[in-house]
C-alpha cells in the first residue's frame, strides 16, 4: 500500500476511488520508484474510472433535463446545491465535543444561511416578480413594499443572529465559538457570492450560465483523461495528482469546445434570450447581433481543395474563447485552493454525496470561480452593447407613476436646455 507523503494518511483503494477528477494518480514517491509509470497501465484504476464515469453520466443527464425545463428549475437546482454545500461545509470544522455543550449553536449557522438567502434571492426574486405581476395592482404594491423593506428585514434578521451569538457565548468556548462564527461567514460569502452571480447569469440567458459551467466540466474531464493516458510531470506540489500533461491537454480541449459549443448553443433562443420575469413559457426574442452569424471568406487554397468558400462565425464565439481561456487557465486555481484547504485540515473530501466524486463542494470549487468571472465578463463586455435607451425606458414605464414619469421628462428637458446655454 502506498503512503501519500503529503497528507500523511495511507491512501487506501476506497480512498483513491474518491479522488478528485483531475487527479492523475502519479504519486511522486511511486513514480520515482517505478520510473515514469503511466496511470493507464495500472489495471486497478479502471474500476475507479468506471464508477466516476457512471455518476458523471447520470449527473450530465439530469443536468440536461433541468436545462430543458427552464430558468426557474435551474435556479431551484442552484439552491439545492447551495444547501448541500452549506451542510458539507458547516459540519467540516465542527467538533462534536464542543457542540454538545452548546445547544442550538448549529441552528445559528442555518439562521445566517437563510438570512443570506433571503437577502440575495429576495432582492432578485422581487425584481423579477415586479415584471411578472404588473397587471395586478395589489400584488404589485405588495412586491414593491417587499423590495422597499427587504434590506431592513434582512438586516434585523442578521442582527438577531448576531445578538443571539453574543448572548450564548460560553466561558472557555469563546475561541471555538468565534472561530465557528468566522467560518460560517466565510462559507456564506463563498456560497452566496457565487450563487448570486450564477442566478443572475441564468436570467441573462441560459447561455451565460450553461457555457461556463459546461466548460469547467469539460476541462475537468479533459484533465482527467489526458492525465490518465499521458500524465507524467507533476504540476503543483499542493495537488500531487495533477500533471502538466493533463493541464495542457485540457486547456486545448476546453478552448476548442468553447468555440464549438458557443456555435451550437447560440442557435437556440431558449438559451440565448434573457428572461425578465418568473414565467416558464417558451421564449422568443431578437437575440441581437452577437448571435447573428458573420461570414468570413476562406483563404485561397481552402476552396481549391474543399467545397467551402466561406465560414460563418457567431460573434459570441469570440467571447466564448475568452471564457474558455479563463476556464482552462485560471478556474483550476479554484481546485488548487480546495486541494490546499483539504490538505491543511487533513480531510480527503468535503463530503460523500456523489459516488466517485466526493462531496458536492468538491465538484463546485472551479465552478464558483467561473460563475463570478462569467457574470463580470458578461456585464462588462457583453451586456452594455444592448444596455441603453430601451432598458431605461422600460424601467421608467414600469417603476414610476404617471406623475413621476412626467417629472422625469420635465427635468430632462431642463437639463438639455441648461446644457445648450452653457449653464452648469
Helix axes 174-203, 207-230, angle to 10 degrees: 110
Residue whose cell numbers read 481546485: 335
Would you say 47 or 419 has its CB closer to a copy of itself? Answer: 419
Check residue 344 for interaction with a copy of itself (CB under 8 A): yes
Check residue 392 for interaction with a copy of itself (CB under 8 A): yes
| Binder among 29, 65, 395, 417 for a copy of itself (CB under 8 A) | 395
Q: Are 125 and 146 in contact (CB under 8 A)?
A: no
Check residue 166 for interaction with a copy of itself (CB under 8 A): yes
Check residue 43 for interaction with a copy of itself (CB under 8 A): no
Q: Could you tell me which stretch among 70-78, 166-174, 203-211, 291-299 binds a copy of itself (CB under 8 A)? A: 166-174
Check residue 417 for interaction with a copy of itself (CB under 8 A): no
Least Å from the CB of residue 334 to a copy of itself? 9
How many Å apart are CA 44 and CA 160, to the nearest integer?
54
Nearest to 164 by CA among 107, 122, 237: 107
Check residue 303 for interaction with a copy of itself (CB under 8 A): no
Report DSSP letters for 194-241, one per residue: HHHHHHHHHHT-THHHHHHHHHHHHHHHHHHHHHHHH--SB--TTSTT
Least Å from the CB of residue 140 to a copy of itself? 12
Beta-strand runs (E) in 180-309: 294-297
Task: Tell me the three state secondary structure of residue 104.
Answer: coil
How many Å apart are CA 122 and CA 97, to the nearest integer?
36
| Binder among 2, 76, 396, 417 for a copy of itself (CB under 8 A) | 396
How many Å apart are CA 228 and CA 43, to the nearest integer?
12
Would you say 96 or 152 has its CB closer to a copy of itself? Answer: 152
Site string for a copy of itself, 120-139 (x = CB under 8 A): ---------------x----
**Cell numbers standing for residue 313:** 462565425
Nearest to 91 by CA among 355, 352, 368: 352
Q: How many CB atoms lie within 10 A of CB 213?
A: 22
How many Å apart are CA 360 and CA 160, to the nearest integer?
30
How many Å apart are CA 150 and CA 121, to the nearest integer?
10
Check residue 389 for interaction with a copy of itself (CB under 8 A): yes
DSSP alpha helices (H): ranges in 243-358? Answer: 244-265, 269-272, 301-305, 316-329, 332-344
| Binder among 155, 296, 308, 318 for a copy of itself (CB under 8 A) | 155
Would you say 203 or 373 has its CB closer to a copy of itself? Answer: 373
Check residue 343 for interaction with a copy of itself (CB under 8 A): yes
Would you say 112 or 165 has its CB closer to a copy of itself? Answer: 165
Would you say 76 or 391 has its CB closer to a copy of itself? Answer: 391
Looking at residue 310, the DSSP 8-state letter turns out to be E
Binding residues for a copy of itself, rule: CB under 8 A, are 6, 135, 148-149, 151-152, 155, 159, 162-163, 165-166, 169, 171, 174-175, 177-178, 182-183, 185-186, 189, 237-238, 330, 333, 336-337, 340-341, 343-345, 369, 372-373, 376-377, 379-381, 384, 387-389, 392-393, 395-397, 399-400, 402, 404-409, 411-413, 415-416, 419, 424
Amino acid at each position: 500500500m502506498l503512503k501519500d507523503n503529503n497528507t500523511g494518511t495511507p491512501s487506501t483503494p476506497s480512498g483513491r476511488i474518491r479522488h478528485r477528477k483531475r487527479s492523475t494518480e502519479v504519486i511522486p514517491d511511486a513514480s520515482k520508484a517505478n520510473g515514469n509509470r503511466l496511470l493507464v497501465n495500472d489495471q486497478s484504476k479502471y474500476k475507479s474510472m468506471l464508477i466516476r464515469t457512471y455518476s458523471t453520466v447520470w449527473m450530465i443527464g439530469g443536468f440536461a433535463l433541468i436545462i430543458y425545463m427552464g430558468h426557474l428549475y435551474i435556479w431551484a437546482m442552484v439552491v439545492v446545491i447551495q444547501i448541500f454545500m452549506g451542510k458539507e461545509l458547516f459540519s467540516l470544522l465542527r467538533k462534536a465535543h464542543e457542540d454538545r455543550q452548546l445547544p442550538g449553536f448549529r441552528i445559528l449557522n442555518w439562521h445566517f444561511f437563510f438570512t443570506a438567502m433571503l437577502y440575495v434571492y429576495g432582492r432578485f426574486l422581487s425584481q423579477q416578480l415586479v415584471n411578472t405581476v404588473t397587471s395586478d395592482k395589489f400584488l404589485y404594491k405588495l412586491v414593491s413594499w417587499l423590495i422597499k423593506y427587504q434590506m431592513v428585514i434582512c438586516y434585523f434578521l442578521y442582527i438577531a443572529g448576531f445578538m443571539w451569538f453574543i448572548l450564548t457565548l460560553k466561558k472557555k468556548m469563546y475561541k471555538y465559538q468565534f472561530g465557528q462564527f468566522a467560518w460560517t461567514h466565510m462559507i456564506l460569502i463563498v456560497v452566496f457570492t457565487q450563487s448570486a452571480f450564477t442566478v443572475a447569469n441564468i436570467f441573462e440567458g441560459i447561455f451565460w450560465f450553461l457555457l461556463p459551467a459546461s466548460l469547467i466540466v469539460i476541462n475537468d474531464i479533459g484533465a482527467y483523461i489526458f492525465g490518465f493516458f499521458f500524465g507524467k510531470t507533476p504540476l503543483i506540489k499542493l495537488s500531487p495528482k495533477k500533471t502538466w500533461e493533463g493541464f495542457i491537454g485540457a486547456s486545448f480541449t476546453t478552448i476548442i469546445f468553447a468555440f464549438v459549443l458557443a456555435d451550437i448553443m447560440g442557435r437556440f433562443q431558449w438559451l440565448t434570450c434573457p428572461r425578465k420575469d418568473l414565467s416558464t413559457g417558451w421564449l422568443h426574442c431578437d437575440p441581437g447581433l452577437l448571435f447573428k452569424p458573420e461570414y468570413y471568406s476562406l483563404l485561397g487554397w481552402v476552396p481549391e481543395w474543399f467545397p467551402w468558400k466561406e465560414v460563418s462565425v457567431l460573434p459570441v464565439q469570440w467571447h466564448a474563447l475568452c471564457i474558455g481561456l479563463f476556464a482552462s487557465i485560471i478556474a483550476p486555481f479554484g481546485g488548487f485552493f480546495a486541494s490546499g484547504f483539504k490538505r491543511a485540515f487533513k480531510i480527503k473530501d468535503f463530503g460523500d454525496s456523489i459516488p466517485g466524486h466526493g462531496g458536492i463542494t468538491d465538484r463546485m470549487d472551479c465552478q464558483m470561480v467561473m460563475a463570478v468571472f462569467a457574470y463580470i465578463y458578461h456585464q462588462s463586455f457583453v451586456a452594455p452593447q444592448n444596455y441603453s435607451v430601451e432598458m431605461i425606458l422600460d424601467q421608467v414605464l414600469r417603476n414610476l407613476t404617471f406623475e413621476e414619469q412626467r417629472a422625469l421628462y420635465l427635468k430632462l428637458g431642463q437639463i438639455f436646455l441648461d446644457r445648450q446655454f452653457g449653464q452648469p
